[in-house]
Amino acid sequence: MPTSSFMRSARIPISILVLLSALASGCGTNVFQASNTGPITLGSIPAVRLNFRYEPDVPPPATDAAKPSGEERNEAVQADFDNSRPQEILDKTISSPDKKRIAAVYHKVTDYSSEYRLDMYGADGKLIRKMTSDTMAVHFPDTIVWSPDSSTIAFVAMIRVVAPDLGLTSPTPPPASGTDPDPSLDANSQVEPTPTPPTPAPAVPTGILTFRTEQIYTANADGAALRPITENEGLIYFYYAWSPDSSMLLALAATMREWKYLEVVSSGKGEAMVPQGRLRIIERNGRERRLDDNLTAVRPVWSPDSTKVAAAYDTQIRIYDAAGVNPTQAAIPLRNQLLISSQAYDREQQRISQAANPDPNAQPAAPTTPEQLSTLPDEKLLVSYNPIVEIAWSADELLYLQTAYLKRMKNEADSVRSFSRWHRLVFTAQPALPSNKP
């Protein structure tokens, strides 16, 4: 009679079974259970553990093509200003992503230039709440931004400059001639009931903390719960953006002295001032973490999964972990790659130009020598070699960067932008290091 497998296994010495059990428990895994480890995503990989591949001269990212050109002023909100607010001028409206709320950016005729106010309207064009107090001025209206989930709006404000009273508010006019009341009318006689007065407009809020430099404020979708989430007197915050999951803000900040210095230098050259700041992450509760000590003028961006942040410094890209117990950062120097791709781009443009306008007296180009192939080109001889001026993170594994020559002048018609080229980095995870554990 054949022996069963169970009976055969019972003949194994007990000492061997104990040894196998100890080895299995020492490895920390159950050899009789399947592994439940899911696929590794780039969001779970620290920034310092990312590989990249550089791809030059690619089409622009889809996010760039779909970038909105600017919202037109809401007609219903504009009508409310025209009919009910003659002393206030509507500058722009900013609709929430879900289209249920509209932020109205406006100013009074007595306000100084570049100082604005903010109110919240419903989708029907009716005023819900007056948001900013008379002592605070909203700055940089083009950077006001809703969170992706439409729950919060963020803007920058500071103490308002007290405007002079220009006497534009007319006093109550006296009664017109010929309208004196009839003296025969008894004051105690029955008169028609007074019509019900209209519902008063929401009161202007008071008691909001303000600062002498631009700080970031947030409010909910109804315009309530307005408060500063940065309170660093002396710092100027700008170029702020919500994370895709609406949990944090990414911003640049510069000291007042740095800001004024750039204003003086650019004004002396007749150029528009381009601010530069240091990168930081700001949580909803106001907790702030500075990511870098270097200044950049390029707007930083979030990864689509909200786990990382990217910034550009001349010809270098830096990636930062947005959260975690031990966040990391990685620098990706691209100078050599940009030099080589710019040389190839210039040569291709020259070939296209010669093909379109052939010169019968032109000498054929000399063949490239091995020494030239092994030597980096001189950046002074490359017209298309320029710093990074814009970045866009379109997918978890795709970061786009644009290089261009930019010169921004006070007169926009005199500004120059040339040799705009898009490149991209393709990210992959580095292989896991082998474990030394038994």
Q: Does 12 map to a domain? A: no
Q: Does 361 map to a domain? A: no
Looking at the structure, tell me whether residues 341 and 223 fall in a common domain: no
Looking at the structure, tell me whether residues 255 and 343 fall in a common domain: no
Q: Does 186 map to a domain? A: no
* CATH number, residue 226: 2.140.10.30
Looking at the structure, tell me whether residues 153 and 275 fall in a common domain: yes
Are the beta carbons of 383 and 394 closer than 8 angstroms?
A: no
Looking at the structure, tell me whether residues 72 and 146 fall in a common domain: yes
Q: Does 188 map to a domain? A: no
Looking at the structure, tell me whether residues 303 and 351 fall in a common domain: no
Q: Does 15 map to a domain? A: no
Rg of the chain taking only CA atoms, in angstroms:
32
Domain boundary residue, one of 331, 363, 398 = 331
Give the Å distances, CA to CA, from 277 to 66, 175, 239, 374. 27, 59, 9, 37
Q: Does 32 map to a domain? A: no
Q: Does 283 map to a domain? A: yes
Give the Å distances, CA to CA, from 301 to 56, 309, 401. 20, 6, 11
Task: Give the pairing of strands 235-242 and 227-228.
Answer: unpaired
Looking at the structure, tell me whether residues 57 and 74 fall in a common domain: no
Looking at the structure, tell me whether residues 102 and 222 fall in a common domain: yes
pLDDT in tens, 63-119: 644 454 467 899 999 999 999 999 999 999 999 999 999 999 999 999 999 999 999
Looking at the structure, tell me whether residues 93 and 149 fall in a common domain: yes
* pLDDT tens, residue order, the chain (438 aa): 444 443 344 444 554 444 445 444 444 444 334 444 445 788 999 999 999 999 999 999 986 444 544 678 999 999 999 999 999 999 999 999 999 999 999 999 999 999 999 999 999 999 999 999 999 999 999 999 999 999 999 999 999 987 554 444 434 444 444 444 444 444 444 445 555 555 556 788 888 999 999 999 999 999 999 999 999 999 999 999 999 999 999 999 999 999 999 999 999 999 999 999 999 999 999 999 999 999 999 999 999 999 999 999 999 999 999 988 899 999 999 999 999 999 999 999 999 988 888 777 766 655 666 655 568 999 999 999 999 999 999 999 999 999 999 999 999 899 999 999 999 999 999 987 666 655
Domain that includes residue 55, residue range? 44-63+335-355+371-429
Predicted TM-score (pTM) above 0.75 = yes
Looking at the structure, tell me whether residues 392 and 253 fall in a common domain: no
Looking at the structure, tell me whether residues 386 and 278 fall in a common domain: no
Looking at the structure, tell me whether residues 115 and 55 fall in a common domain: no
Structurally, the chain folds into a number of domains equal to 2
Looking at the structure, tell me whether residues 249 and 348 fall in a common domain: no
Are the beta carbons of 257 and 202 closer than 8 angstroms?
A: no
Q: Does 195 map to a domain? A: no
